[in-house]
Structure 1
Amino acid sequence: MLNARLRATWVANAASGAAAVTVGTPFRARSAYTLHRADHVRVQQDSIIASDLELVTVTDTTAILTWTTRARDHAGRLRPAPADTEIRIAPADAAHPPRRYSLDSRPTAYHYAQIEGLEPGRAYRFEAYSGGYRAAPARTLVTRRAGSPETTGVFTTLTPPPGTLLRTIALANDVHYGESTSGLIVAGFPNGLRHDTHSHPEIMLDALLSDVRATDRGTDHLIVAGDMTDSGTLEQSSAVRARLDSWGAAGRDYFVCRGNHDVSREADPWGSVFDARGRVAVSDVDGLRIIALDTTRPRGSGGTLTAPQLSQLREALATEPDRPILMFGHHPVTSSAAVSNPAGPGFVLDRASAAALHALYRRAPGVFLHHTGHTHRNRVGRPDSPVNVEFLEGAAVKEYPGGYLLLRIYSGGYMVNFYKTRAEQALRWSTRTRKQYFGLHPDHALGSLADRNHVVLRDFSGLR
């Protein structure tokens, strides 16, 4: 049986027969956005193309869908075209087809629809429509592969860990504040993307901070795992620090580490604003230890850990090694990350440092997750040795899919979910940067549904 909230939604919508807001949920406020005049094109209703459908987020009680509507202009080019936002859903075992969950009649080209009131561990059929046309997945492998929810039209909500929800931590990375052109592999290649009027990292960082402060996300702490700036200048570092300080207090509400883009060729302006080079930063948050690593080199994009930093970490982990510990650094650690990222093994943490971390983690069973950025993708790595640690890479804040991971810690485990940021300008920029790297970026960055939405059982009963 559907729970009462979802049943009430369908009854209310059927009774009104109108473009109504979902009863009992704040769906309308999170599904449509005002477009700039330049985004509008004059189209006939039957020329709408609804595509790029992605089932981005699946929790125990919610699901989030995004898609784009376009139409051809007088020259035959596809342009963003505003249309309504409609969601239909039904339990997968229901005899009837999916029924309207919500219809928001306010026009937008960048559709973001959050479904609430679902039952944990249950399969649902879903459909998304705009202008009367059903949204289709983009022609990318990640959403067109056999068995993906976008092709089957079915998803299953997660079963949350047992026990009480203790806290929620946002995991973010790769803001690149100060970057002017997105999508470059090397200088001038391929043709990058520039925002027409604003700084895209500023838009995306502000969207992140607004999103994780929203009541429906319930975020207690924020972690930013490196590449906070584009080149580590004092101006860039100070601007990011000011925004983070307006969100919360360093070392209590938010935690950061350095990325390779935060390394300056002159002195250390990033270090003067945040932390000095080569430092292990250990914080205690009501029984949870959060440890930040500096995995950067003075030159180059790859990562390493110096002998003094490994010594600091060894000492920190030797103290209460069974206590829950959340690690983060910029560079991915595992061999699977080394061979699967497009830039190859030299782009991640060097093998000697990775082996040293694995050895330390074997002696510190409290370490349960190691979060990294750098590769701009959602991916769970496979450990190099038998350690009970999840190695989690996160997609970039600054570009498609443009978002963050929420880590919800329960007394009996944790749940990981990826969210796109919801601000209208952020959704527009995320959509535009889908075409980066010759259109291959979605297959690299989004990750599988399981990579970005999953549950791990673990004993956190000692946390407060």
Structure 2
Amino acid sequence: MLEPRLRTMWLANAASGAAAVAVRTPRPVFAAEVRRAQRETVVASDLEVVTVTDHSAVITWTTRTRNRAGRLRPAPADTEVRIAPADGRGEARTWVFEGLRTPYHYAEVRDLEPGRAYRFEAYSDGQRAVPARTLVTRRSGTPESTGVFTTATPPPGRLLRTIALANDLHYGEPASGLFAGLFEGLRHNTDQYPEFMLRAMLEDLRLPDRAADHLVVAGDLTDSGTAEQSRGVRGSLDEWGSLGRDYFVCRGNHDVRSQEGTDHWGEVFHARERLVEYFVGGLRLIGLDTTRPRGAGGTISPPQLAYLRELLRGEPDRPTLIFGHHPVTRHAAVSNPGGPGFVLDRFNAAALHALYATAPGVFLHHSGHTHRNRLSRPDSGIGVEFLEVGAVKEYPGGYTLLRVHEGGYMVNFYKTRSEAARRWSTRTRSQYLGLHPDHALGSCVDRNHVVRRDFSGLRAEPSAR
């Protein structure tokens, strides 16, 4: 028989061993807890360094958790970005933290130094955000793959004015992502996504950190050019400013006359095959109608081309921004999924290049139609930037700001910031079998770059800062 002290120790050991066995035995409970923990763990992905200016950067990502079936679903989490100079060895410190929980993260890092490289890390609930499985952000050398971005060196001189470049509103469109009958598209539960995406952009442009003086919309304002759509989009734009003073538009292929043959868009804005010319502080804006009566491709009518030649010949050195719906270059023709027949026809594209060669004041040609951000190479050695801008109405869901300084201009693409816009942009990433980001986002240089040019003769906008 055990002595009392040993008996007590034996009983204690036996009890603790039994308790341990009891904890280990019910393995189904343990497995369930593991599965629940896996479901509740946040997955932070879709990391994108969208905007890089001279003093700021915009970084976006999405957080998800797994449901009972193991599928990822959007899940709210906090938003944190840590920053450190890339030339230093110190740990990155928290620069942005937002405790308001959301699945759709938008972090704007401010007060950075111009022309400096920064290391960055993005987190939600302690989980580091990583790029999605797309080439555009995972390829070698991208900010998302290296964890480093470099702020721009701004053009010299004062900021004269800020012009927002936008396109492809598709006001009234019932489904996003339709393509030649191959994809049925995504539907929003309200069927109002073009409306709230437009509203999100217009609200953004009036905020002090964007402060757009003017807005240029390069076509496809409506889905099908009906009277209701044309009046609706005009009403939204008129709440933002005045046509011909604050905002400027041209026609896209979706704005061509409606099924009954009436040109409702023309009645609300301006007639078909009409070139429009405006002046803002000495800067000239010229809008082209590049649409055909039928089809998605583009052309320019001979009278319109003759009028453009006359205008450019009259003031060849005046700083001029030209906008039309269809892209112009060979590079755009061969790199878009629709091929050469989807952009401006080769005859008129060559004619524009020839005209621009005789008018050194033309510095930028803005187009839409392809729903992507793309800085395209000119067909000849002319000093004109051919810029395609992503669609307002779907991923990446935004606009480009053209900040004109005395010594050049800076181009930056921004996603719109409202919760509804970020939610819809995230959902439409999945369009076209998930390949849409590789098509639409563009490279960091496509979206963000600086061009030196002499604009010292332009007048500053009173509201420009």
Normalising by structure 2, we get a TM-score of 0.90
One of 90, 96, 100 as aligned partner of 1:96: 90
Cα distance in 2 for residues equivalent to 1:235 and 1:331:
24
Change (3 A) 1:281 1:81: same
One of 345, 352, 356 as aligned partner of 2:347: 352
Q: What residue in structure 1 maps to residue 419 of structure 2? A: 424
Q: Could you give the per-residue CA deviations for residues 319-370 of structure 1, whole angstroms, max 9, x where no partner exists?
A: 2110100000000000000000011000000000001101111111100000
One of 167, 173, 181 as aligned partner of 2:161: 167
> CA shift at 1:397, angstroms?
0.4
SS in 2 for 1:87: strand
8 A Cα contact 1:362 1:387, kept in partner: yes
Aligned: 1:460 with 2:455? yes
8 A Cα contact 2:39 2:67, kept in partner: no
8 A Cα contact 1:176 1:201, kept in partner: yes
Aligned: 1:84 with 2:78? yes
One of 319, 324, 331 as aligned partner of 2:314: 319
8 A Cα contact 1:86 1:102, kept in partner: yes
Greater Cα shift, 311-320 or 237-246: 311-320
SS in 2 for 1:463: coil
Cα distance in 2 for residues equivalent to 1:322 and 1:186:
43
> CA shift at 1:44, angstroms?
7.2
> CA shift at 1:213, angstroms?
1.1
Q: What residue in structure 2 maps to residue 114 of structure 1? A: 108
SS in 1 for 2:433: helix
Cα distance in 1 for residues equivalent to 2:447 and 2:221:
22
8 A Cα contact 1:60 1:119, kept in partner: yes
Aligned: 1:441 with 2:436? yes
- Aligned pairs (5 A) from 1:63-462: 63-187=57-181, 189-264=182-257, 265=259, 266-462=261-457
Q: Could you give the per-residue CA deviations for residues 202-243 of structure 1, whole angstroms, max 9, x where no partner exists?
A: 111111111111111010000000000000011000000000
Q: Could you give the per-residue CA deviations for residues 155-210 of structure 1, whole angstroms, max 9, x where no partner exists?
A: 000000011100000000001011111111123x3131000124110111111111
8 A Cα contact 1:43 1:71, kept in partner: no
> CA shift at 1:388, angstroms?
0.6
> CA shift at 1:421, angstroms?
0.2
Structure 1's unaligned 5+ residue stretches are: 1-41
Q: Could you give the per-residue CA deviations for residues 231-265 of structure 1, whole angstroms, max 9, x where no partner exists?
A: 00110000000000010011010000000000024
Q: What residue in structure 1 maps to residue 31 of structure 2? A: none
Cα distance in 1 for residues equivalent to 2:184 and 2:251:
28
Cα distance in 2 for residues equivalent to 1:269 and 1:415:
36
> CA shift at 1:46, angstroms?
5.3
SS in 2 for 1:419: strand
Cα distance in 1 for residues equivalent to 2:147 and 2:418:
26
Name the aligned partner's letter for residue 142 of structure 1. V
8 A Cα contact 1:124 1:155, kept in partner: yes
Cα distance in 2 for residues equivalent to 1:185 and 1:45:
35
Q: Could you give the per-residue CA deviations for residues 382-426 of structure 1, whole angstroms, max 9, x where no partner exists?
A: 111111100000000010000000000000000000000001000
Cα distance in 2 for residues equivalent to 1:244 and 1:318:
32
Cα distance in 2 for residues equivalent to 1:242 and 1:56:
30
RMSD: 1.1
8 A Cα contact 1:45 1:131, kept in partner: no
SS in 2 for 1:439: coil
Q: Could you give the per-residue CA deviations for residues 111-168 of structure 1, whole angstroms, max 9, x where no partner exists?
A: 0000000000000000000011000000000000011110110000000001110000
Cα distance in 1 for residues equivalent to 2:453 and 2:200:
32
Cα distance in 2 for residues equivalent to 1:388 and 1:235:
41
Cα distance in 1 for residues equivalent to 2:279 and 2:146:
44
> CA shift at 1:316, angstroms?
1.2
Cα distance in 1 for residues equivalent to 2:40 and 2:55:
35
Name the aligned partner's letter for residue 104 of structure 2. Y
Q: Taking every aligned residue pair, what percent have the same amino acid on both sides?
A: 70
Normalising by structure 1, we get a TM-score of 0.90
Cα distance in 2 for residues equivalent to 1:84 and 1:44:
18
SS in 1 for 2:311: helix
Aligned: 1:55 with 2:58? no
Q: Could you give the per-residue CA deviations for residues 7-44 of structure 1, whole angstroms, max 9, x where no partner exists?
A: xxxxxxxxxxxxxxxxxxxxxxxxxxxxxxxxxxx987
SS in 2 for 1:387: coil
Please identify the structure whose Cα radius of gyration is greater. 2
Name the aligned partner's letter for residue 55 of structure 1. V
Cα distance in 2 for residues equivalent to 1:147 and 1:89:
18
> CA shift at 1:102, angstroms?
2.2
Name the aligned partner's letter for residue 224 of structure 1. V
- Aligned pairs (5 A) from 1:25-44: none
Change (3 A) 1:385 1:129: same
8 A Cα contact 1:406 1:417, kept in partner: yes
Cα distance in 1 for residues equivalent to 2:40 and 2:123:
13
> CA shift at 1:435, angstroms?
0.4
Cα distance in 1 for residues equivalent to 2:134 and 2:38:
27
Cα distance in 2 for residues equivalent to 1:44 and 1:214:
40
Cα distance in 2 for residues equivalent to 1:458 and 1:301:
34
SS in 1 for 2:375: strand
